[in-house]
Amino acid sequence: MTLMLSTLQPDFAQKFDRVVNDRRESDSEVAGQVADILQTVKLRGDAALAEYTQRFDGYTLADDADWLITRERCEQAYDELAPELRDALELAAARIRSYHQAQLPENRDYIDAAGVRLGAIWRPVDAAGLYVPGGRAAYPSSLLMNAIPARVAGVERLVVVTPTPKGQSNPLVLAAAHIAGVDEIWRVGGAQAVGALAYGTKRIRPVDVITGPGNAWVAEAKRQLYGVVGIDMVAGPSEILVIADGKNDPDWIAADLLSQAEHDPTSQSILITDDAGFARQVEDCIDLQITQLATGKTARASWDAHGVIIVVNDLMAEAPALANRLAAEHVELAVDNPEPLMHAIRHAGSIFLGRMTPEAVGDYVAGPNHVLPTGRRARFSSGLSVLDFMKRTSFLGLDAASFNTIGLAAATLAHAEGLPAHAKSVELRIK
């Protein structure tokens, strides 16, 4: 049953707290299973991958042809696409590439008032690993969203791991890999594939950064391996917050809410509105639309277990504070003038402005990345960008004059911290 709340309810604060604090992510049992899988992959490498792939995907990894999907096969999948699909993927790729090229940071090199040379150089990582789901969610759009920023950043080696249940691969995903210029595609998935990317095996060379969506086991593997490799984020179930007034078509808003509910039974869709009658209309439209969706069973489970409708008195006065507590992955502002709301919302993975900007457009062709923080992590993290595939090296250079200007202060602080060798290193040079 969908949770219906009103800010006029005397116990609203307590009920809303439960919504904010609801954790729809992996438990300790998943963490223990993943730890065992990663240790096995670290110790046994390819043999472990083959056993897990046979067990979970029903696919046998024997010779090299079983392990790799070739570039030629990806090109063939691209050539065999219907023209409208090929054009749609190319449009998406072009817009994603253009948006992320504008994110490239600039190197800095300058001399400050003390005569010290300072700066930083940005460089890409050498290799990136991209996880591409192959079960419930086999999405070419996710491959483009992960691979293209890596290429824009200048990453030389792009490696995809993806499960192929019973040996079946998604031709759209292969076509997207061709467009993005992926170097290697390995037919392994799950936590074991993430472990292979991090530790390396005889066949699969290790990478520096791992990105991409996956199930609870994949997300937990990335969490446990952070530090061995870089990761984009620990992604949880999808979520959307729609802030809408009563002027909207309830069918549109219902469809927007269901666009996330259909991802997974643990996804969450929340509506905040200042019109109780409109809220009831949206709920009715959701019930009707679910019966017409091929993904209706999943959407129904998500909406019944995690869907929330909140009625407020004043959208501008109340919705931003609620949105900031939720810190949602996607936030739609379906109002005439979304600008004041946008500037009042500090915590959101991505914001969609106005009635004609459904979140679904952002998933495919708008340009900004659709890999976004979930589980309230938008309070402290951002969506995937070229910076996730780059690192910054600072540099500094002093001559005698600039050293004498600032060196004594360094020695003074070193003595204060009880580090005499630090101090001597500086004092020997002071004139």
Q: Domain ranges in the chain?
A: 3-21+236-366, 28-110+124-231, 398-427
* Residue pair 141/96 in contact by the 8 Å Cβ criterion: no
Q: What is the pLDDT of residue 240?
A: 98
Has 332 been annotated as catalytic? Answer: no
pLDDT band with cut points at 50, 70 and 90 for residue 231:
very high
The dihedrals phi and psi of 186, each to the nearest 5 degrees, come to -105, 140
Options 100, 263, 306, 330, the catalytic residue: 330
Has 263 been annotated as catalytic? Answer: no
Per-residue pLDDT, averaged over 382-395, amounts to: 98
pLDDT band with cut points at 50, 70 and 90 for residue 43:
very high
pLDDT band with cut points at 50, 70 and 90 for residue 292:
very high
- Helix ranges (DSSP H) in 154-249: 171-180, 190-199, 216-225
Q: What is the pLDDT of residue 22?
A: 86
Q: How far apart are CA 3 and CA 43, in angstroms?
A: 47
In the chain, pLDDT over 70 holds for what percent of residues? 99
Options 329, 332, 359, 370, the catalytic residue: 329
- 3-state SS, residue 339: helix
* Residue pair 259/293 in contact by the 8 Å Cβ criterion: no
- Residue 254: pLDDT above 80? yes
Q: What is the pLDDT of residue 26?
A: 65
- Residue 64: pLDDT above 90? no
- Residue 137: pLDDT above 70? no
The tokens describing 199, both together, are 């530790």
CATH of 28-110+124-231, one of 3.30.230.10, 3.40.1110.10, 1.10.3720.10, 3.40.50.1980: 3.40.50.1980
> Same CATH topology for 3-21+236-366 and 28-110+124-231?
yes
Burial call 400-422: b when 16+ CB within 10 Å, e when fewer: eebbeeebeebbeebeeeeeeee
CB count in 10 Å sphere of residue 251: 15
Q: What is the pLDDT of residue 63?
A: 87
The tokens describing 236, both together, are 């949880």
- 3-state SS, residue 403: helix
Of 11-15, 40-44, 134-138, minimum mean pLDDT range: 134-138
- Residue 348: pLDDT above 60? yes
- Residue 134: pLDDT above 90? no
- Top CATH class of 3-21+236-366 equals alpha beta
